Amino acid sequence: MIVKSKKSGFVKRLKSMLYVDFRRMFTIPFFYIMVGIAFVVPILILVMTTMMDGSVSVNPQTGVETEIQGFDNVWQILGAVSNASGGEAAMQMDLVSMCNINMMYFAVAVFVCIFTTSDFTSGYAKNLFTVRAKKTDYVISKTLVGFVASAVIFTAFLLGALLGGGVAKLPFAMSGFVLGNVVSCMLAKIFLSTVFVAVGVLASVIAKQKTWLSVLLSLGIGMLFFTMIPMVTPLDSTFVNVVLCLVGGAAFAVGLGAVSNVVLNKTSLV
């Protein structure tokens, strides 16, 4: 048998890799579980915090009374406005401001880690890397799939927030921002998730069969980026925020993707 050189172009290779990854993603129950969690979590948060709103807890040792404050506005679960004059939607560092959409970044990282390491735990990586010498395709494909997954997860969270807000009878009034800002905020958040996706892919190719290690690594590294999220994706985000997150996300994806590529090329794949 003569081996003919049949050059597979980058686009063709990436297309087939993306087809496999998307097909896998949309057929695994885990993806739908994550989307379901993203949809249910805001409903639970909004309904429960509204029910507890105004209740007072007393510290039995100090006798200090703390009033539990729920959300004043549905949009608060997506973030806060960047300036203090934003009134009720202004940025605060309390429990309410932490229980918001930004938690989903960790959900995205966990999803990417489990999705990517399953290639190694199932042994699929052996089939894949035997016939595919170019590891770049793999990294790009995993990053793009993770990005789409994060877009779906964030959208599910938004829909859940709208439904939860309706159930909890919270106001949908926009103070200090308009609908366009909310759209920009969501786009900025989705673009920024690429950073967490790239971190997840890198952690997975380092950890390979050890899913727990990849999750730990990505959560650990993700924590470093977590604090910047409210600052770059406020509720009153504009086109500038979207561009900033798009460029930043892309830069991180390229940089961390290059590192992932080096890791795959320099280490054993089984």
Partner 1 sequence: MNAIEIKNLTKNFGEKQALKGLEMTVPVGSIYGFIGENGSGKSTTEKIICGLIRPSGGAVKLFGKDYTDADVREKIGVLIEAPGCFPNYSVWNNLMLQAANLGIENAEEEVRKVLQTVRMEGAAGNKFKNCSLGMKQRIGIAMALLGKPALLVLDEPINGLDADGMRIMRETLTGLANQGCTVLVSSHILGELEKIATHYGIVRGGKMIKEMTAEELETSCRTYVALQTKDMARTKMLLGCKYSRVEEDERGYLRVYDNTKPETIVAFLYENGILVNEIKTDKIGLEEYYIDLMREKEGTVR
Judged by the rule CB under 8 A, the positions of this chain that interact with partner 1 are: 1-3, 5-8, 12-13, 15-17, 19-20, 23-24, 27-28, 118, 122-134, 266-270
Nearer to partner 1, 57 or 122 (CB): 122
Closest distance to partner 1 from the beta carbon of 200 (Å)? 19
Nearer to partner 1, 124 or 239 (CB): 124
What number of residues does the chain have? 270
Q: Which residues pair with 11 in a beta bridge?
A: none
CA distances from 7 to 3, 81, 92, 139 (A): 12, 52, 56, 20
58: phi then psi, degrees, rounded to nearest 5: -115, 130
Closest distance to partner 1 from the beta carbon of 175 (Å)? 48
Closest distance to partner 1 from the beta carbon of 28 (Å)? 8
172: tokens are: 């949908």
Nearer to partner 1, 30 or 172 (CB): 30
Q: Which residues pair with 65 in a beta bridge?
A: 58
Nearer to partner 1, 92 or 136 (CB): 136
Closest distance to partner 1 from the beta carbon of 30 (Å)? 10
CA–CA separation, 56 vs 59, rounded Å? 10
CA–CA separation, 155 vs 67, rounded Å? 32
